[in-house]
Amino acid sequence: MEKTLASSEYAQFKEEFKKEVVKKCVIKRFIEDLANYIRAVDESVVKFHAQKMEEINEVLSSLWEQVYHGSDIETIQIKSESAGENEKKKSYNYRVVMHVGGTEIDMPGRCSAGQKMLASILIRIALSDVFCDKCSIIALDEPTANLDVLKVENLGDMLADIISARCANNAKMFQLIVITHDNRFVEHLRQLCRPEWVYSISKDDAGLSRVKRHRNLEDATMREG
């Protein structure tokens, strides 16, 4: 048997066996290193998520104190809770809470339409501040839809306060884009913010968009008419 195994016919099998053993050890070590890497990435993602949620709530709390004039709601926050995890990803559930008299209460269904609107706008601004630090932009598409006259005016007051609060912080670039067909709402904002110029966008007979600059909204409306 020993002579047979020592023959040239079987000599190459010994070298191949060594190679396979080395290959197996390398693959085993690679799998261990990959598992450690995946675990480190998962831990980093969880840490990053917690850090960003803390930053968002800090901005949100600051904005709420600056803009909200009521005394019933002290501040609002976004709460994140683990919704379970599997081999591929970790998921979260999010909810908006308000602090009333030191007690944390879920906001949906327990606040007015105006408070709900303000919270939704401030949450967007907070997200924009945290994730787009150098280019904080928020766009509102027809925000006055389904709102009565009083709520429209309240919304305008809130937006004016938000603009004032954002402009006071010169370190932050901030742009607010409001898309609306409600001329009364636009006029209310103009009276509150007092811009030097008002720009109107209209289409000419060829279907091309034209941007015109006006001193006031009435002038823009008359020329469009």
Any domain includes 43: yes
Q: Does residue 1 fall inside a structural domain? A: yes
> How would you label 208-221 residue by residue, b for 16+ Cβ within 10 Å and e otherwise?
eeeeeebeebeebe
In a domain, 118, yes or no: no
Q: Could you state, in chain order, the average pLDDT of each consecutive group of 10 residues for the chain (225 residues)?
A: 62 78 92 91 88 92 84 91 70 90 90 84 84 74 80 83 72 75 86 82 88 74 54
> Is 223 part of any domain?
no
* Number of domains, the chain: 1
Round to whole Å and give the CA distance between 73 and 97.
10
Report angle CA 106, 111, 114 to the nearest 5 degrees.
135
Is residue 14 included in any domain, yes or no? Answer: yes
pTM of this structure: 0.68
The boundaries of the domain holding residue 27 are: 1-111
Residue 147 phi, psi dihedral angles, 5° rounding: -105, 140
Q: Considering the domain boundaries, does residue 104 fall inside one?
A: yes
- Residue 28 included in any domain: yes
> Is 170 a member of any domain?
no
